[in-house]
A and B are shown apart, each in its own frame.
Chain A
Amino acid sequence: DQQVKQNSPSLSVQEGRISILNCDYTNSMFDYFLWYKKYPAEGPTFLISISSIKDKNEDGRFTVFLNKSAKHLSLHIVPSQPGDSAVYFCAASHFGNEKLTFGTGTRLTIIP
C-alpha cells in the first residue's frame, strides 16, 4: 500500500511559467512533509518542508501548500528555470518517527 502518491510521473513547463507538482497521502498520522529534488547520478537534496500546523510555507521561488482535509500537498515553483529540471520527490513522516515515506517522484522538464 503506497502511502504517499505522486500520480504524475512527468511534467513539462515553459521557462518563466509556474510549475505545480502534486502529492497525495493516505496516512492521517503524517504531520511533516518534505520535497526533495534529485538530479541524475546524485542523491536527493532537501528543498522545502511544511509542518501540519501550517498550510503554506514559502522559500524564494518555492512554495509548498498543504491541504490536510484533502490529504494533498503541492509544490509551486515560480518562475521556473532550466536548472529546475529534475525529479521531485514528495516525502512524509510523523512526529517521533524518523522514517520518511517517499512518493515515486515526478520528472519536471523546463522548456527554454
Chain B
Amino acid sequence: ETGVTQTPRHLVMGMTNKKSLKCEQHLGHNAMYWYKQSAKKPLELMFVYNFKEQTENNSVPSRFSPECPNSSHLFLHLHTLQPEDSALYLCASSQVVQSNTEAFFGQGTRLTVV
C-alpha cells in the first residue's frame, strides 16, 4: 500500500453536485495538505492541517470545504463548483519537526467540472 492514497482517481461532476475527495496517509505523519495543480500554473497550496488543526487556508473559495477527522485522513468536500475548478487535486503529508522535511504526495484526483 502506498504512503498516501487518494480516492477517487478521476471524478466528473456537474456544477450542482456535491462530492468529496478522500486522502489517507499510512506514514504516521502529523501534517496533511491539499494542493491544486492547474495547467501551466505552480502547484497551489489550498489547506494545511497540522495535528488535525487547520493552520492555513490560502483564500480558497467556500465551495471547497476541508475536513480532517484524524491525523491519517483528510477530505475535501466540493459543492457548486465551477468549470475553472477542473484540475488535479493532490493530497500530501509530512512530519513537521524542528528541521524541514519533505512532503509525500498521493497520486491525485483528476477533477472535471461540467
Which of A's residues lie within 8 Å of B, judged by CB? 2, 4, 9, 31-32, 34, 36, 41-46, 49, 51, 89, 91, 93, 95, 98-105
Contact = CB atoms under 8 A, between A and B. Distances in A.
Nearest to B2: A43
Contacts of B100: 31-32, 49, 51, 93, 95
A93 B41 CA distance: 18
A32 B107 CA distance: 24
Interface of B: 4, 6, 31, 40-43, 45, 48, 50, 56, 90, 92, 94, 96, 99-100, 102-108, 110
A100 B4 CA distance: 17
Contacts of A4: 42
Given A34-B102, A49-B102, A93-B100, A43 B40 contact: no
A43 B108 contact: yes
Contact of B43 (A31, A46, A102): A102
